[in-house]
Amino acid sequence: MLLVEATWKEIETYLLDSQAIVIPIGSVEQHGPMGLLGTDAMCAEVVARRAGEIGGFLVGPTLALGMAQSHLAFPGTISLKPSTLMAVVQDVVASLSNAGFRHIAFLNGHGGNIATVTAAFSEIHAQRSLQQDLDNLNLALRSWFDLPGIRKLLADMYPKGHGSHATPSEIAITQHLYPHAKKMAPLDPQIAADGRFTDAHDFRRRYPDGRKGSDPSLANPEDGAKLVEAAAQALAQEMVRYTNK
């Protein structure tokens, strides 16, 4: 069930049996010469929705904008400041917990969100502790690429050239979802360099086409379909314990 396609009465009825919801969260940022700007949000959303179908739990609206400052030197990137993203997460959690949700899982598609969302969780729990709020509230952050079994699947699919940004796995998922938007571009070198960086301008200087350690030409829609199903099954299995009171 999708929250945005339900009425408030249907949500009220849902809460009688389950207090769990998954919120997809991603980013709008450059993904190299072949990757769509909305890749991270698209990946999180499709995995969450498919998992919701499998597990019968509620899926909320996608938080498409994330903390993407390291990509701001590339046109099209839209980044929230960490303080802004923390405020958004805190307001989403407050709204849902006020309605009666007690397990709120964020399914993430962008590594740059992890530290900020985790910090937002700490703020939420600290405030609730200070207010002596005795209602249990379980908050979880899971990245689709770190769900059980996914890292091994990625290693099997892409033993070389997977990398850490503009990866063939995430681009494969968007090719599966939006075949009409499949992009091709020459890659030089075929596998991009990888390593550390400081800010957005240093990122672009070190990785001029936006890739980090990846060869996105390895992507194909068939891999994307397999990844979506595998990640969705893993997420649904993790959510089982929370779908009933």
Domain of 39, in residue numbers: 3-237
Is residue 157 domain-resident?
yes
DSSP assigned state of 143: E
Distance CA 144, CA 167 (A): 14
Distance CA 109, CA 97 (A): 23
Rounded mean pLDDT of 132-155? 93
Is residue 245 domain-resident?
no
Distance CA 75, CA 80 (A): 15
Strand partners, 212: 165
Q: How many CB atoms lie within 10 A of CB 97?
A: 18
Provide the token pair at 59: 């899926």
DSSP assigned state of 165: B
Is residue 244 domain-resident?
no
Q: How many domains does the chain have?
A: 1
pLDDT digits (tens, 9 = 90+) for 25-35: 999 999 999 99
- Residue 189: asked if its preceding bond is cis (omega within 30°), the reply is yes
Is residue 54 domain-resident?
yes
Distance CA 114, CA 24 (A): 13
Is residue 243 domain-resident?
no
Whether 231 and 147 have beta carbons less than 8 Å apart is answered as yes
Report whether pLDDT(244) > 80: no
Is residue 50 domain-resident?
yes
CATH of the domain at 38: 3.40.50.10310
At residue 131 the predicted structure's pLDDT band, cuts being 50, 70 and 90, is confident
Whether 59 and 3 have beta carbons less than 8 Å apart is answered as yes
First to last CA, the chain: 18
Is residue 143 domain-resident?
yes
Give the CA distances from residue 33 to residues 141, 184, 216, in Å, rounded to whole numbers and listed in that order.
29, 8, 9
pLDDT digits (tens, 9 = 90+) for 75-108: 999 999 999 999 999 999 999 999 999 999 999 9
Is residue 242 domain-resident?
no
pTM: 0.96
Report whether pLDDT(245) > 60: no
